[in-house]
């Protein structure tokens, strides 16, 4: 498990999630590493265009303006680039005035091994393999699958989470997958007063909750929502689980199998995390979306 500071939120992000590196990545795939290196060095003074996660990172770092003199939100760059080719990434960070000072450039190797050392609560990447390794290390992680970077135009930072296999364990989802909806509903009714075990995003949600507590509820710059396919009577166990964890969720939307996308747009989510590929594909053209490759749906 990562060594984390209780009063700090640390987000790790890959360079391809923060900036649009599609063009240079194409050079790498078609012409090889040497051509890629030459391409990046020749353009190291040209700022990269924002990537899928850029608006989210920008909002995260702006939270420090409201949290007082001690920066309680940190973004760490984890990159497969070498330090030499990564200079363009750092120059772009400076161009956009992003307060990112810590980074690991891994020279072609996967950077996931440094996630725990940096004490990260969340890792966002375009590399599904790296995300799976991060989840195995006990860190919330998601593969960004959005078609483009997006922004809500709202100063408040709004996170949306699926429930089972994301905030909660996949224990209930396993019943649904193996025995069907009727058995799932009966099982959840019978266990309504037994809290669900935590899923991979529980520690990240707890870290967000600690930041929220620095503000009156009506003025918090962070808002959270549970957007789940569950419906009554399977709602009770979820509510009692969050109560047992002593974690506040600002909005809980129980959809009973309805498509989530329009609700996420109405909520004005900055980012949405779900374990189901179909839900991610539906939301990704409209909202920054992270696929969480965890649980029975990804076995």
Burial bucket for residue 201 (CB in 10 Å: 0-12, 13-18, 19+): buried
Catalytic residue chosen out of the listed positions 162, 164, 170, 274: 162
On the question of pLDDT at 147 being above 70, the answer is no
Sheet containing 122-125: give its strands across. 102-105, 73-79, 9-14, 122-125, 140-144, 289-291, 271-274, 157-161, 222-228, 251-254
Task: Provide the whole-model pTM.
Answer: 0.92
Q: Kindly state the average pLDDT of the residues 43-49.
A: 93
- How much is the pLDDT for 165? 95
At residue 199's C-alpha, the angle toward residues 197 and 202, to 5°, is 100
Contacts of 215 (CB under 8 A, 6+ apart): 66, 221
| pLDDT band (50, 70, 90) for residue 153 | low
pLDDT score for 138: 92
Higher pLDDT, 233 or 70: 233
Q: How far apart are CA 215 and CA 203, in angstroms?
A: 20
Kindly report, residue by residue over 8-27, the tens digit of the pLDDT.
899 999 999 999 988 888 88
Chain segment 216-258, per-residue pLDDT in tens: 888 889 999 999 999 999 999 999 999 999 998 999 999 998 9
| Structural domains of the chain, with CATH | 9-142 (3.40.50), 157-298 (3.40.50.1000)
Asked if residue 117 has a cis previous peptide bond (ω within 30° of 0), the answer is no
Q: Active site includes 130? A: no
Work out the average pLDDT over 25-40. Answer: 84
Contact indicator for 231, 256 with CB cutoff of 8 Å? yes
Q: Are 200 and 135 in contact (CB under 8 A)?
A: yes
Judge whether residue 169 has pLDDT over 50: yes
Q: Are 31 and 97 contacting, i.e. CB atoms less than 8 angstroms apart? A: no
pLDDT tens column, 179-223: 998 999 999 999 999 999 999 999 999 999 999 988 888 888 999
């Amino acid at each position: 498990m990562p060594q984390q500071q209780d009063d700090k939120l640390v987000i790790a992000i890959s360079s391809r999630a923060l900036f649009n590196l599609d063009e240079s990545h194409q050079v790498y795939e078609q012409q090889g590493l040497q051509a890629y290196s030459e391409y990046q060095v020749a353009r190291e003074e040209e700022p990269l265009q924002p990537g899928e996660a850029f608006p989210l990172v920008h909002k995260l770092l702006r939270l420090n303006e409201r949290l007082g003199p001690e920066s309680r939100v940190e973004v760490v760059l984890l990159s497969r680039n070498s330090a030499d080719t990564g200079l363009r990434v750092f120059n772009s960070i400076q161009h956009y005035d992003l307060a990112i000072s810590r980074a690991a450039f891994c020279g072609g190797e996967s950077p996931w091994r440094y996630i725990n050392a940096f004490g990260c609560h969340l890792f966002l990447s375009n590399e599904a393999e790296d995300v799976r390794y991060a989840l195995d290390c006990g860190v919330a992680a998601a593969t960004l699958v959005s078609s483009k970077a997006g922004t809500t135009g709202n100063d408040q930072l709004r996170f949306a989470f699926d429930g089972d296999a994301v905030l909660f364990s996949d224990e209930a989802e396993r019943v649904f997958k193996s025995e069907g909806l009727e058995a799932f509903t009966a099982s959840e009714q019978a266990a309504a007063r037994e809290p669900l075990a935590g899923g991979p995003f529980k520690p990240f949600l707890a870290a967000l909750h600690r930041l929220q507590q620095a503000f009156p509820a009506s003025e918090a710059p962070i808002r959270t929502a549970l957007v789940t396919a569950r419906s009554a009577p399977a709602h009770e166990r979820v509510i009692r689980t969050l109560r047992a964890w002593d974690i506040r969720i600002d909005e809980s939307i129980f959809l009973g199998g309805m498509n989530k996308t329009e609700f996420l747009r109405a909520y004005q989510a900055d980012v949405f995390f779900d374990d189901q590929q179909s839900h991610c594909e539906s939301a990704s053209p409209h909202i920054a979306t992270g696929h969480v490759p965890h649980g029975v749906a990804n076995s």
